[in-house]
Structure 1
Amino acid sequence: AIERFDVPLPIRVESTWPVIAGLFWVGIHRLLVMKAEAGTPRHLFPDDFDYPDSMVNLPWYAETWALWVALLVIVFGGYMIRKSRNSY
């Protein structure tokens, strides 16, 4: 109904797909972290001094920096692709 009266919508799939892909990556990264945490032994240390699970060394792809780097690459790369395709 809004487009019928020539009012453009600011949020469209064509303009937000990099953000949607980035959010999809956040979900995939969370699954990778859960899989990596499930593969680590829970009792690496004696029972009288138990460390929290956050101190267990995780693979590089399950680290927080990998989440942010990949998210920025996906979002900025997606907008660069969109910009280059719209410039023709």
Structure 2
Amino acid sequence: MSNLKGVIVHIEHRIGWVAIRDEIGEITIAELIGGYDVEKGNIITGNLHSEGGETFYNLSTDEELDVYVEYIHLTEAQAILAIQKCGR
């Protein structure tokens, strides 16, 4: 599954992370590499289930996003813990 679609459900501005819920309900957390203007609800496509450097596409703004995927296949509770852990 290389090209999945998801929705940005959370933006953690202090660390540049976005949480994206994919079509099967799993959450991917990625760090934005660059000054992209993203918003909750933006539709994202790309290889959401691969860790490391990736290029996602924001369908809502018609823009490519260079990202570093930190976490994949998370539940909502796991995503919250990962974001909280990074803030410590």
Structure 2 length as normaliser, TM-score? 0.26
Give the structure with the higher percent strand: 2
Higher relative contact order (CA 8 A, sep 6+): 1
Give the structure with the higher percent helix: 1
Query: Larger Rg: 1 or 2?
Result: 1
